[in-house]
Chain A
Amino acid sequence: MSMVEAPPPGFKLSMLINDSRYRGYTFQTIAFIALMCLAAVMVMNAAANLERLGKDISFDFLWQGASYDIYPQLIPFESTDTHFRAAMVGVLNTLLVAFFGCIAATVIGVIAGVLRLSNNWLIAKVMAIYVEIFRNVPVLLWILLIMQIVAISFNNPLDYRGEDPTATVVWGMFAFTTLGIYMPAPVWNPGSGVVVAVFIASIIAMFFYSRYRKKVLFDTGRILPGFPVMLGLFFVPALLAFFIMGRPIGLDYPAMGAFTFSGGALIGGPFIALWLALSLYTGAFIAENVRAGILAISKGQTEAASALGLRPNRTMSLVVLPQALRVIIPPVISQYLNLTKNSSLAAFIGYQEITGTLMGITLNQTGRSFEAVLLGMLIYLLISLAISFMGNLYNASVKLKER
């Protein structure tokens, strides 16, 4: 054996350049060292500049009093609370708009994506126009435009005042004001817990019924009634419980006060503008993802389904969409991330999310720009990673399972 092997070559320094086995490592090492030097220079330069300005890096400001107020707030916040709590209020506002934005964008995107493939010329073209208009204009302009529309088309809250107001509350329930939309809010009286529990139980029942229905279909081929039973399960038990418990859930109607409405719930104008703009904008991208996913399923699948006698909408929901989901989901997750990050544009219209509180007012009042921005980036990173994680879990559940 030793006869066949070449004598072990003596290692010479020149081989680091000339020998193809080592050359790659040599250059990678040099590039790595250069990169590290560059990073070190930048960090030291930043540190030296901060030192020269007499600024140190400290996160102590987070525990000082914020002394400003925030609207809206999902957790109670007083101006005497800390900057940290203000940041948390901001994070929750970011999550709020991201959550509802993702839901709305998905609904809009799926509908628009499917309809764009419709055989109906008018519907297909209308959807194409929607997608192209929203996709090709920066989302900030949409946010500002919708904010303007709210400001122009909704009523001044002061118009609702007096004996003979110039504006009326729609059905005594909804007031469309420039501040936002006022609507009745539920009032939870004693006993309402039972109604809620019954409602949750009936949702669970609906889930189990649909599984049972599928099982019967697969085992015996019988189709049990679907929609009527679901509808019944959704409404009847909860309504029964509601009346048996003596109507414990009331409604608090918005009533005009001295300056604006009090009572009821207010969905703020900036929230509406941001939510609508982000949903429509991201929805256009999701529509394209959905269309691409559907087109990726070979026409043979549709034809085979038709040959088996499936009607077009069943072909779509039972054959095409489940397969298309595998193509659609990964890009849609990245759209969710985009939507969440784009929500930082809220600063332009005064919706107080994390960019507005931590990286806006807190930064301004404490002068801790470096720390605040660093912390803000970390928060966005965590939110994005959490969204991708959940998205990937779902993706794993629908992807092709190899048995």
Chain B
Amino acid sequence: MKTNVFLGTLAVAGMTAGMAFADGHGGSTLDVVKERGSLKCGISTGLVGFASQDANDEWEGFDVAVCRAVAAAVLGDPTAVEFRPVTNKERFEVLNSGDIDMLSRNTTWTFSRDVDLKLEFAGVNYYDGQGFMVPKSLGVSSAKDLDGAPVCIQSGTTTELNLADFFRTNNISYQPVSITTASEAQQAYLAGRCAVYTTDASGLAATRASFENPEDHVVLPEIISKEPLGPLVRHGDNEWGDVVRWTLNALIAAEELGITSANVGELSAAATDNPEINRLLGTEGNLGEQLGVAADFGAKIIMADGNYGEIFEKYIGENTPIGLSRGLNAQWTDGGLLYAPPFR
């Protein structure tokens, strides 16, 4: 009997030790993704316009399009993505533990996340700022009139910190109502658990668009923070970080260069007289090889869902229920902040 117990202990010990060592991340993420044949991408648990499921349960949206573009660049197939919806609270743990390859989930780029949390932001795909939404019937016209109001916030976000700072510096009080997900926040706001809902202005627009009577609610004019949102990867895997960064840059550069989903087939078939277009689409130079992906990765990215401008218009632009204008997210040539470094 004792011998059995002993042997059992030894067996368990051996197995556990083996598993513990096997846990170390082997190889670069790029190789892992290529070998697996699919990209594991962390997205929002549901935010209309950014990440939501269509009638066929397929994920679509502005953030989802970034995942699909990366899958197109690396694997040549924009559908080779395993989507993993993650909450605000768990997103960084899931990424750092290696469960997902990248996170594209309206996440704000901040110093401490970049430096202390050991994450690597691959750029900005939406310049946002935190705003407030209230029922129109309250007759509030400024966020400074919100003294004493119960405010719904998503736990574990930068919004939580901005909110505390805003109310403290303006010397007014509020009652925080903590919520885990965007859809829960919506429910709580409609049930009256809070008179005010605060999150990034784009998220407010998306939430408002999903209401039965959007016109009963107003977004207040104050934007109380800078929220540069973008995709991110683990710190320390620079090759993979480059892939995600230059996929995003390709989307932005394509719009600037006038490459659209309509003309990308024609432009990538043979070299044009614009060398930058040629380098981006792989008909000239070896940018793809340098990045460790196919030569025509740029063309594959644009074929997936179009360039940045097309993705914006399709999911969150002015002709969608969300109705966001380009604003800061216009190309630098149009007075916006989007500025892709040269493909050279």
Chain A residues packing against B (C-beta within 8 Å): 23-24, 27-28, 30-31, 34-35, 37-38, 41-42, 45, 49, 52-55, 67-71, 78-80, 151-152, 155-159, 177-179, 257-260, 262, 269, 347-348, 350, 352, 356, 360-361, 363-367, 369
Q: Assess the B155–A367 pair: CB atoms within 8 A.
A: no
A34 to B9, CA, bound (A): 8
Q: Assess the A38–B17 pair: CB atoms within 8 A.
A: yes
Residues on the A chain within 8 Å of B13, using CB: 34-35, 37-38
The answer to the question of B55 belonging to the interface, with a C-beta cut-off of 8 Å to chain A, is no
Choose from B2, B168, B191 the contact partner of A80 (Cβ within 8 Å): B168
The 6 closest A-B pairs by CB, nearest first: A156-B192, A364-B156, A79-B164, A350-B178, A259-B149, A367-B117
Whole-angstrom distance from the CB of A168 to the nearest CB of chain B?
16
The answer to the question of B318 belonging to the interface, with a C-beta cut-off of 8 Å to chain A, is no
Whole-angstrom distance from the CB of A82 to the nearest CB of chain B?
14
Residues on the A chain within 8 Å of B88, using CB: 364
Q: Which chain B residue shows the least CB distance to A44?
A: B20
Q: A35-B9, A54-B118, A260-B195 are in contact. Are A158 and B135 (CB under 8 A)?
A: yes
Q: Assess the A361–B160 pair: CB atoms within 8 A.
A: yes
Q: Which chain B residue shows the least CB distance to A45?
A: B20
- Contact stretch, chosen from B61-69, B169-177, B278-286, B334-342: B169-177
Chain B residues packing against A (C-beta within 8 Å): 2-3, 5-6, 9-10, 12-13, 16-17, 20-21, 23-24, 88-89, 92-93, 96, 112-113, 116-118, 135, 137-138, 145-150, 155-156, 160-161, 163-165, 167-168, 174-180, 187-188, 191-196, 235-236
Q: Which chain A residue shows the least CB distance to B119?
A: A367
Q: Assess the B164–A177 pair: CB atoms within 8 A.
A: no
A348 to B20, CA, bound (A): 31
Residues on the A chain within 8 Å of B138, using CB: 158, 258-259
Q: Assess the B149–A71 pair: CB atoms within 8 A.
A: no
Residues on the A chain within 8 Å of B160, using CB: 68, 361, 365
A24 to B118, CA, bound (A): 50
Residues on the A chain within 8 Å of B12, using CB: 38
A157 to B174, CA, bound (A): 15
Choose from A71, A159, A257 the contact partner of B176 (Cβ within 8 Å): A71
Residues on the A chain within 8 Å of B155, using CB: 350, 356, 360-361, 364
Q: A42-B20, A260-B148 are in contact. Are A367 and B92 (CB under 8 A)?
A: yes
Residues on the B chain within 8 Å of A178, using CB: 191-193
A240 to B92, CA, bound (A): 62
29 inter-chain pairs at a CB distance below 8 angstroms, sorted by A residue, are A23-B2, A27-B2, A37-B13, A38-B12, A41-B16, A42-B20, A68-B161, A69-B163, A69-B174, A70-B176, A79-B164, A79-B165, A151-B193, A157-B192, A157-B195, A159-B192, A177-B192, A257-B148, A259-B148, A259-B149, A260-B149, A260-B150, A350-B177, A352-B178, A361-B155, A361-B156, A364-B89, A365-B112, A365-B160
